[in-house]
Amino acid sequence: MKRLISVTINGKRRTDEVEPRLLLVHYLREVVGLTGSHVGCETSLCGACTVELDGKAIKSCTLFAIQADGRSLVTIEGLAQNGALHALQEAFWNEHGLQCGFCTPGMIMTSKQLLERIPVPAEEEIRHGLEGNLCRCTGYQHIVNAVKAASAKMGS
């Protein structure tokens, strides 16, 4: 039996009928049409599905869509404002913090929360903050460089 949920996604309120067992990541991709959050492992190990729920970075494969009822979500698509990339998005581009791009949305969303907690993190803090996100293409150094660059830009 479907349930009605109402969620604010990237500042826009929407109401949908969903199956109680539908994962939040599948709701975002299949119902809402926001495909930036990727389905990697569906076991919370890779972080490719990371979004913000009420201001906290979460792995959207670990929640059911009905658990987001009445709450606010921000996805990778919601970071750019008025056609301008968020500082993290721009830094990942400029610092080559991506290769295939599969992990990038989750890395950026996790990095956003990291920079909100620690505006000028040391390299070790960045690496520790990203431990829950896996990249199969890089050695992570360009990702760390991107977070440092975004930190510098966001601080100025």
Neighbours of 50 (CB within 10 A): 29
- Percentage, residues of the chain above pLDDT 90: 90
Residues of the chain with CATH 3.10.20.30: 3-78
Q: What's this model's pTM, rounded to 2 decimal places?
A: 0.94
Q: In terms of CATH, what superfamily is 87-155?
A: [2Fe-2S]-binding domain (1.10.150.120)
pLDDT digits (tens, 9 = 90+) for 17-66: 999 999 999 999 999 999 999 998 888 889 999 999 999 999 999 999 99
* CATH architecture group of domain 3-78: Roll (3.10)
- Percentage, residues of the chain above pLDDT 70: 99
The residue among 5, 4, 3, 2 whose CA lies nearest residue 70 is 5
Name the 3-class secondary structure at 97.
coil
Q: Say which residue, 34 or 156, is predicted with more confidence.
A: 34
Residues of the chain with CATH 1.10.150.120: 87-155
**DSSP code at position 86:** P
The residue among 48, 49, 79, 77 whose CA lies nearest residue 63 is 49
